[in-house]
C-alpha cells in the first residue's frame, strides 16, 4: 500500500520525533506562501491551530496518546460549524454568523489529535461543480491555475492537492467530494448515508448530504474516515452501528477474490482519455486477482434528472430559514415581506436563486406529484437497480467525472453543461451508497483523471480494498513511465 503522509506525520508526533507545533507551523507557512494564487481558504485559523498543536504536544509530553491523527493539519469546508468561527457556506447571506457549537466531525477530529487550520472555499451552499459560485471568488486548480478545481468542495480538494494540508473534509450531495478529488488528482470519499454524522453540517439537501475525507493517499483517507465515522444520537439519520474497520480490511486483503464490475453507463459518453484510464484500472484489478466484468445499469441514465428535482426541492425548504430575522445578513425594508425579499435578493447568488426557484416550483400545488414525487419514484428505481448489480458484484467502477478539469469560466453561463459534470457521481447520492475517487494517471492534456469505486451500503471495507489496489497500480504505471523517460 502507498505511503500515507498524514499517518506518518502523526506517528512522528506521537513518538516525539517532531512537535505538533512544528508540523502546524510548516503548514501555516506553506499556506501563507501559496494560497494567494489558489484561494483554497476563506479563513486561516493560525492562532487557534497553534494553541491546539500545543495541547497535542502537552499530551505527548505527559505520556498520553493524543490520538491517531496527532498533530495532523486538517482543513474544513466552510459549511461545517466550528464554535465561534465565522461560517459562510460561501454566501453573503451568512455574513457575521458564528456558530454556537461544533459539528460532530469537528469534535471527533479534535479527539483524534488532528489540528484544524482553516475553513475552505466552496460553491455557495454547496450548489455547484466548479467552486466558481462562491460569493468570495473562485478557487483555482493547483494542477493548472487556469482550470477549475471542481466543486462544490473545491477549496478542500485544492488545499490537499496544493500540499497546504495532508487532509481535509468536504460534503458530497451529488459528487461534491469525488468530482473535485478527480479534477485535482487526490483521493476523495463519500461514506454510506448515515455513516458520518451530519450534525453541524449546514444543510443543502438533507436526504443526500454526506461528509467525507480528502487525502493524498487511500490509507490516509481511510484513517480520516474512521476518525469521523460512527453513530451520533444528535443526528436522527445516523446509522446505529460503528463504521467498518477499513484500515484493517486493506491490511488483511487486496482486491484478490473480489467481484468487480465496470458500469457501462459510467463510462459511455465520457472523454476517450478518461474512459481509457477506467479500462486500464479494470485490467489492473484483474491482474491483482479480482474477477472483472462489465455490467449495465440503464436506470442510472435518469439519475441526473431526478437529482435536479429532489436536491433543489430540499434546498428550497432548507434555505427558507435565511430570512434576515434570526441571523446573518439583513437588508431593511418597509415591512417584513419586503425585508425578506431584499435580504434574499442581496444575500443569495444566481445559482442558489435558480435552484430555490426550481425546487419551490417542483413542490408547488399541482406539480408535486408530477415532478418531486416522480423523481422520488425514479430514485427508488435507481436503488433497486443498484441492488441487482450488487447481487452479482462486490464493487463497481467507472469514471468519476466526464472529463479532466475544464477552464475557469468555461461553463458558468451554461448551467446544464455544468450540471452534467456530476452525471457519474449523482447515482450514489440517490442510493445512499458509499463511493470514492482515486487518481489514476493523466488525461491527454496532462491533467489528473479519477477512477470512481462504488460499493453497496456499508460496503466501505471492500471499496477501500479495491481503492488500494487501484492506487498501487496507478503508481506502478507512473513509475514505469518515469523509468521509460
Q: What is the CB neighbour count within 10 angstroms for residue 87?
A: 23
Please report where in the chains the cell 454566501 appears, as a residue.
91
Let me know: does 175 contact 424? Beta carbons within 8 Å.
yes
Give the mean model confidence (pLDDT) for residues 239-268: 94
Asked if pLDDT for residue 252 goes beyond 60, the answer is yes
**Nearest alpha carbon to residue 421 among 178, 209, 158:** 178
pLDDT digits (tens, 9 = 90+) for 8-23: 999 999 999 999 999 9
Q: Which one from 4, 19, 77, 316 is the annotated catalytic residue?
A: 77
Q: How many residues does the chain have?
A: 485
In this structure, the dihedral spanned by the alpha carbons of residues 420, 425, 428 and 434, taken in order and rounded to 10 degrees, is -170
Residue 242's pLDDT is 85
At 418, give phi and psi (nearest 5°). Answer: -65, -45
Give the mean model confidence (pLDDT) for residues 110-136: 98
259-263 sheet: strands from edge to edge: 41-44, 115-120, 73-77, 167-172, 210-215, 187-190, 435-442, 448-455, 395-399, 259-263, 291-295
Let me know: does 132 contact 111? Beta carbons within 8 Å.
no
Q: What is the pTM of this model?
A: 0.96
pLDDT-derived band of residue 475, with 50, 70 and 90 as boundaries? Answer: confident
Q: Which one from 19, 112, 134, 152 is the annotated catalytic residue?
A: 152
Give the mean model confidence (pLDDT) for residues 182-202: 98
Give the mean model confidence (pLDDT) for residues 398-416: 97
Q: Indicate the pairing of strand 167-172 with strand 73-77.
A: parallel
- CA dist 429 and 448 (Å) reads 23
Is 82 in a helix, a strand, or coil? coil
Return the bridge partners of 41, or none: 120
Q: Which one from 176, 197, 217, 316 is the annotated catalytic residue?
A: 176
Task: Indicate if 476 belongs to the active site.
Answer: no
Q: What is the DSSP string of 102-161?
A: --HHHHHHHHTT-EEEEEE--SGGG--SSS---TT----BTTBTTB---SSSHHHHHHHH
Runs of H (alpha helix) within 2-67: 5-14, 20-38, 46-61
**3-class SS letters over 267-290:** CCCCCHHHHHHHHHHHHHHHHCCC
pLDDT-derived band of residue 125, with 50, 70 and 90 as boundaries? Answer: very high
Residue 265's pLDDT is 98
pLDDT digits (tens, 9 = 90+) for 47-92: 999 999 999 999 999 999 999 999 999 999 999 999 999 999 999 9
**Nearest alpha carbon to residue 211 among 255, 246, 167, 150:** 167
Task: Indicate if 296 belongs to the active site.
Answer: no
- Sign of torsion over alpha carbons 249, 3, 188, 22: positive
Asked if pLDDT for residue 426 goes beyond 80, the answer is yes
Domain covering 5-299+379-484 assigned CATH 3.20.20.70 in the classification: no
Give the mean model confidence (pLDDT) for residues 376-394: 98
- CA dist 474 and 485 (Å) reads 17
Task: Indicate if 176 belongs to the active site.
Answer: yes
Cell of 104: 460532530
- CA dist 141 and 393 (Å) reads 35
Amino acid at each position: 500500500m502507498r505511503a500515507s503522509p498524514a499517518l506518518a506525520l502523526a506517528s512522528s508526533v506521537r513518538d516525539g520525533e517532531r512537535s505538533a507545533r512544528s508540523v502546524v507551523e510548516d503548514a501555516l507557512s506553506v499556506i501563507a506562501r501559496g494560497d494567494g494564487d489558489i484561494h483554497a481558504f476563506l479563513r486561516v485559523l493560525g492562532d487557534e491551530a497553534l494553541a491546539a498543536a500545543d495541547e497535542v504536544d502537552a499530551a505527548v509530553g505527559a505520556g498520553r496518546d493524543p490520538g491517531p491523527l496527532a498533530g495532523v493539519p486538517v482543513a474544513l469546508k466552510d459549511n461545517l460549524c466550528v464554535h465561534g468561527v465565522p461560517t459562510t457556506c460561501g454566501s453573503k447571506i451568512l455574513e457575521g454568523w458564528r456558530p454556537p457549537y461544533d459539528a460532530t466531525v469537528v469534535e471527533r477530529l479534535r479527539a483524534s489529535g488532528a489540528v484544524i487550520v482553516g475553513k475552505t472555499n466552496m460553491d455557495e451552499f454547496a450548489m455547484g461543480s466548479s467552486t466558481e459560485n462562491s460569493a468570495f471568488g473562485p478557487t483555482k486548480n493547483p494542477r493548472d491555475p487556469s482550470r477549475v478545481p471542481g466543486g462544490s468542495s473545491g477549496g478542500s480538494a485544492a488545499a490537499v492537492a496544493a500540499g497546504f494540508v495532508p487532509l481535509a473534509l468536504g460534503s458530497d450531495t451529488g459528487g461534491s467530494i469525488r468530482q473535485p478529488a478527480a479534477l485535482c488528482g487526490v483521493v476523495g470519499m463519500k461514506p454510506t448515508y448515515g455513516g458520518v454524522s451530519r450534525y453541524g453540517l449546514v444543510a443543502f439537501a438533507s436526504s443526500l448530504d454526506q461528509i467525507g475525507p480528502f487525502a493524498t493517499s487511500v490509507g490516509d483517507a481511510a484513517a480520516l474516515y474512521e476518525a469521523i465515522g460512527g453513530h451520533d444520537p444528535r443526528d436522527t439519520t445516523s446509522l446505529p452501528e460503528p463504521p467498518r474497520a477499513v484500515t484493517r480490511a486493506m491490511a488483511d486483503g487486496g482486491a484478490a477474490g473480489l467481484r468487480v464490475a465496470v458500469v457501462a453507463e459510467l463510462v459511455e459518453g465520457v472523454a476517450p482519455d478518461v474512459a481509457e484510464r477506467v479500462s486500464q484500472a479494470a485490467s489492473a484489478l484483474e491482474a491483482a486477482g479480482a474477477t472483472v466484468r462489465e455490467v449495465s445499469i440503464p436506470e442510472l441514465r435518469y439519475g441526473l434528472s431526478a437529482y435536479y428535482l429532489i436536491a433543489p426541492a430540499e434546498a428550497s425548504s432548507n434555505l427558507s430559514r435565511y430570512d434576515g430575522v434570526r441571523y446573518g445578513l439583513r437588508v431593511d425594508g418597509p415591512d417584513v415581506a419586503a425585508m425578506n425579499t431584499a435580504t434574499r435578493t442581496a444575500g443569495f447568488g444566481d445559482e442558489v436563486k435558480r435552484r430555490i426557484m426550481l425546487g419551490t416550483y417542483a413542490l408547488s400545488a399541482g406539480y408535486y406529484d408530477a415532478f418531486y414525487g416522480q423523481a422520488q419514484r425514479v430514485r427508488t428505481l435507481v436503488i433497486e437497480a443498484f441492488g441487482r448489480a450488487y447481487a452479482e458484484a462486490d464493487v463497481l467502477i467507472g469514471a468519476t467525472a466526464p472529463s479532466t478539469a475544464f477552464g475557469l469560466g468555461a461553463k458558468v453561463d451554461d448551467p446544464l453543461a455544468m450540471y452534467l459534470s456530476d452525471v457519474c457521481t449523482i447515482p450514489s447520492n440517490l442510493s445512499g451508497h458509499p463511493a470514492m475517487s482515486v487518481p489514476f494517471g493523466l488525461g491527454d492534456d496532462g491533467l489528473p483523471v479519477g477512477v470512481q469505486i462504488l460499493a453497496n451500503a456499508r460496503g466501505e471495507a471492500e471499496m477501500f480494498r479495491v481503492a488500494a489496489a487501484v492506487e498501487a497500480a496507478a503508481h506502478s504505471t507512473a513509475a514505469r513511465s518515469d523509468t521509460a523517460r
